[in-house]
Amino acid sequence: MTIVAGQRAQHAPQSLVQAGSLMIDAARAIAQKHSADELAEPLNEFSSHLEEHGFARLASWPLEPRRAMLAELQSMRRLEFLFFELNRYLANVPSPSG
C-alpha cells in the first residue's frame, strides 16, 4: 500500500459519514417537500370520474382498453401507497451519529 492510498483509507470513514449526512439531509428534504396528497388528490378525482355511475363511462369501451385503464388505475393507487411509505421511511432515517 502506498502512502497516498494509506491516507485515503484513513480518511474514508470520515468521508462516508459526511456523505451519509448529506444523503440523509436530502432524504428528509424530499420527504418534507412532497406530501402524500400531491398524488392522492388528483388520483382520487380521476378515480371518482371513472367510477361514476358504476363505471358507466367505460361501458362503451372495448374489453381490452377497459381492462388496461382499470389496471393503470390500480397501478397508480399502488404507487400512491408506495410513495407514502417511502416518504414516511425517509422522514425517519436516523442520522449517522445516532
Domain map of the chain by residue range? 3-91
The secondary element (H helix, E strand) that includes residue 10 is helix 3-33
Q: What is the pLDDT of residue 96?
A: 64
**Average pLDDT over every residue of 2-27:** 54
pLDDT at 15 over 60: no
Q: What string of DSSP letters covers 37-97?
A: HHHHHHHHHHHHHHHHHHHHHHHTS-HHHHHHHHHHHHHHHHHHHHHHHHHHHHHTPPPTT
User: Is there a contact between 31 and 84 (Cβ–Cβ < 8 Å)?
Assistant: no
Q: What is the pLDDT of residue 40?
A: 85
| Higher per-residue confidence, 67 vs 23 | 67
pLDDT at 8 over 70: no
CA distance 51 to 49: 6
Q: What is the pLDDT of residue 88?
A: 82
pLDDT at 93 over 80: no
pLDDT digits (tens, 9 = 90+) for 27-84: 677 767 767 777 788 889 989 988 888 888 888 999 999 999 999 999 999 988 988 8
User: Is there a contact between 83 and 36 (Cβ–Cβ < 8 Å)?
Assistant: yes
CA distance 69 to 37: 22
**Average pLDDT over every residue of 19-31:** 67
